[in-house]
Amino acid sequence: MTGAEMIIHALHQEGVRALFGFPGGMVIDIFDKLYGSKIPFYLTRHEQGAVHAADGFARASGEVGVCMATSGPGATNLVTGLATAYMDSIPVVAITGQVPTHLIGNDAFQEADMLGITRSITKHNFLVKTVDELPKLLKQAFYIARSGRPGPVLIDVPKDIQQASTSEPYPDQVSIRSYKPTINGHMPQIQKAAERINRAERPVIFAGGGVISSGAALELAVLARNIDAPVTTSLMGLGAFPETDPLALKMVGMHGTAFANYAIQESDLLIAVGVRFDDRVTGKVSKFAPKADIIHIDIDPTTIRKNVKVSIPLVGDVKSVLTGLNQLVASKKHAPWLQQINDWKKEHPLEFSPNGGISPQTVIRQIAELTKHQAIITTEVGQNQMWTAQFYDFIEPRTWISSGGLGTMGFGFPAALGAQVAHPDRLVIDIAGDGSIQMNIQELATAVQYQLPVKIVILNNRSLGMVRQWQSIFYKRRFSGVCLNRDVTCPVECDGSKETCPVYVPDFVKLAAAYNIPGYHADKPEEVKPILEKAFAHKGPVIVDFEIDSEENVFPMVPAGAGLNEMMRGMA
């Protein structure tokens, strides 16, 4: 086979169901072999859209997402998406073209050092130097991406290697001497953890994205119900435990529930499963879980003790470790502790005050009610993301798809396209802000071209809401660079009067019409339910634009440098 034929063969061998990308001169040989193949290809309108779509496909399906781009600007346009997948431990393989080997290092047309550029934002990367090593490296790329702590892998293939021929077969198996992830936990450590759990009086389980990656939601639920422990999740762990369950505390951290944050701070044992203790979770580390011993289970040993002090480290695959742990822990009730949890839930519920217009929280709850919590929800990043995390109530894994670690605006819509490809028969909804949706709005063409019926619900506050919130609270309402209504006619200092505001750009209903899809706008609360019903009933993509108050903020909120129990519940 030629190198290009080998790449297509590898995709078949790895069971790839979708390839997202954009062609160019340094991958034209691969696209030539793609022509007429059985690999479904989705032409996005930007390479960033391609890598986010591959990421969304991976999160929704549990399979490896695959994208492809040409050298130079095509490859560098993947960088933000690779960093997004890397921070959230998502298995993606990115295949990039490169200039011919004899031109590497000569500043050739559309040359970029992709190994150097992506070294810190990929789990591993390869530059193929000979065509005979290509089959082995392709196999390794998929193996590394999906095994251990998952992550993105980039394989850079020079044009001459795509054209050269090899008689090397595609390997059936792979073994990398320097890469041996620990799957089964150390039994003495599991026994030690079980003994500590059996002594706990105020246990809390803290579940993260590792539970979902490992497919361990059932094992997590068995542990929680057996030891009668409440369960809170990180942003990436939403859906790992059903949020409608009486033991559910929902999300913890900066914009988590008050009762989850109080439970963490008062617990005597925190069982952390597949988490990395992000700063948005812990608040000020020295004030985090001050009364608790911490059991930390993770397949990545570098994550353990990285951010917080851990009493019992447990390295291994979450599903495997929980299976072993469930065989050892004793069944136990914690009635006084759960009564305290329920008291906090009654005293500090997730709540909001209707302002006369459309409340974003109401929109989220209405979506949850209409979909019966069964939709696949993607979000952009910012207030729309936090309101969705707080008010949707996720009940199963892989139905929440959002950029956590990197916080990438523009992620949600192309990720929704990838999720829709993975699950063509499911309802997929991207809940967006009017700022972030415009970052990859060009992918509307992709949705229309491939008849991907993603529903875009825009919470339109005519501003970059989360930055505006911080400026409102901490920067004396000096709103710099956040108003999306602003134009050259505006005064230097805005008086806040809506009567003087220019016409908002763009008109999302007209924009939808330009892509030949339905668009709806609403600014009255009574319009929310009927418009959502109409949108969800439509068999193709739809844009729904809900006008909300720019003063609406996300609470609770743990300010920077504060402990989890030092929350702001609203504006002073």
DSSP at 463: B
**How many helices (H) does the chain have, and how many strands (E)?**
22, 18
Please state, in angstroms and rounded to a whole number, the distance separating the CA atoms of residues 358 and 399. 25
Residue 303: DSSP 8-state:
T
Distances (CA, A) of 215 to 33, 212, 218, 382, 531: 35, 5, 8, 28, 36
Burial label, 275 (beta-carbon count in 10 A; 0-12, 13-18, 19+): buried
Active site residue 466: yes
Query: Which of 110, 340, 442, 449 is flagged as catalytic?
Result: 110
Closest to 150 (Cα-Cα) out of 206, 219, 96, 212: 212
Half-sphere exposure of 504 (CA within 13 A, CB side): 18
Distances 518 to 141, 219, 508 between C-alpha atoms, Å: 41, 43, 10
Q: Which of 254, 466, 557, 567 is catalytic?
A: 466
Whether 385 sits among the annotated catalytic residues: the reply is no
Asked if 332 is an active-site residue, the reply is no
DSSP states along 255-267: TS-HHHHHHHHH-
Residue 243: phi and psi, rounded to 5, are: -75, -5
250 is catalytic: no
Query: Is residue 110 annotated as a catalytic residue, yes or no?
Result: yes
How far apart CA 85 and CA 65 sit, in angstroms, is: 10
Catalytic residue among 33, 123, 139, 159: 159
* Active-site entry in 109, 195, 306, 474: 109
Annotated catalytic residue: which of 14, 47, 243, 552?
Answer: 47
**Starting from the edge strand earliest in sequence, which strands make up the sheet with 312-315, in order?**
248-251, 231-233, 203-207, 269-273, 293-298, 312-315
DSSP string, 529-572: HHHHHHHHHSSS-EEEEEEB-TT----SB--TT--TTS-B-S--
Nearest to 254 by CA among 477, 457, 88, 404: 404
How many whole angstroms separate alpha carbon 72 and alpha carbon 334?
59
State the Cα–Cα distance between residues 448 and 515, nearest whole angstrom. 7
User: Which are the catalytic amino acids?
Assistant: 47, 109-110, 159, 466
